Amino acid sequence: MAATTEETVRSFDRLFVGGRWVAPSSDRAIEVISPATENVIAHVAEAREADVDAAVSAARTAFDEGPWPHLEPGRRAAALRRIKAEIARRIREMSRSFTLEIGAPIAVSEAFHQGALAMWEGAAQVLERYDFEEERPSDTGTARLRHEPIGVVGTITPWNAPVGNGSIKLAPALAAGCTAVLKPAPEGPSSAMLLAEAFEAADLPEGVVSVLPAGREVGEHLVRHPDVDKVAFTGSTAAGKRIMSLCGERIARVTLELGGKSAGIIADDIPADEIVPDLVMAGLGHSGQVCAALTRILVPRHRHEEFATKIAEFMSGIVVGDPTSRDTQLGPLAMERQRQRVENYVRIGIAEGASLVTGGQRPAALDRGWFFEPTLFADVNNSMRIAREEIFGPVLCLIPFDDEDHAVSIANDSPYGLSGAVYARDIGLAERIASRLRTGQMWINGWGMCVTEPFGGFKQSGLGREGGVEGMSAYLESKYIWRA
Mind telling me the catalytic residues?
257, 291
How far apart (Å, rounded) are the C-alpha atoms in residues 224 and 218?
10
Q: Which DSSP category does 409 fall into?
A: H
Other beta carbons less than 10 A from residue 137's beta carbon: 6
CB 183 within 8 A of CB 68: no
Which of 189, 129, 157 lies closest to 258 in space, CA to CA?
157
How far apart (Å, rounded) are the C-alpha atoms in residues 237 and 221?
19
In this structure, the strands spanning 262-266 and 294-300 are parallel
Amino acid at 309: T
CB 338 within 8 A of CB 372: no
Q: Which DSSP category does 202 fall into?
A: T
List residues bridging with 482 in a β-sheet.
Answer: 143
Residues 6+ apart with CB under 8 A from 393: 287, 288, 289, 333, 338, 339, 341, 342, 345, 372, 375
Which of 414, 420, 421, 409 lies closest to 459 in space, CA to CA?
414
Could you tell me the CA-to-CA distances from 419 to 62, 441, 450 in Å, in that order?
Answer: 37, 5, 10
Determine which helix (DSSP H) or strand (DSSP E) holds 245, and give its type and residue range: helix 237-250
Could you give the residue ranges of the DSSP H alpha helices within 39-72? 49-65
**Coil vs helix vs strand at 253:** strand
CB 58 within 8 A of CB 206: yes
Could you tell me the CA-to-CA distances from 112 to 367, 368, 387, 449 in Å, in that order?
Answer: 28, 26, 27, 10
